[in-house]
Amino acid sequence: MEDAKNVYSNSEIKVTYHPGKCIHSGKCYQGLSEVFRSSVIPWVKLDAAESDHIIEQIRKCPSGALQFERLGSLSEVK
């Protein structure tokens, strides 16, 4: 059974968060706190930074809880 997930998107990317995989290292919000907000719901605000910056930060997620897919082109997932 696949764990629950939260999906966020803008016109360029879709971000998927799998809370069951998260180890709460804090790398997401420490590196891009305007997008990954630890005390606000919804905690992911994709319009707060350029998609390429968000992708760069997602790639630093040590657990793989955050993943992305580019929309309108070939899919790429962490």
For residues 74 and 59, give the distance between their C-alpha atoms in angstroms, rounded to a whole number.
17
Q: How far apart are CA 72 and CA 28, in angstroms?
A: 25
pTM value is 0.84
Higher pLDDT: 78 or 35? It is: 35
Nearest CA to 17 out of 38, 74, 50, 73 is that of 38
For the stretch 16-57, pLDDT in tens is: 999 999 999 999 999 999 999 988 888 999 999 999 999 999
**Domains of the chain: residue spans and CATH:** 6-70 (3.30.70.20)
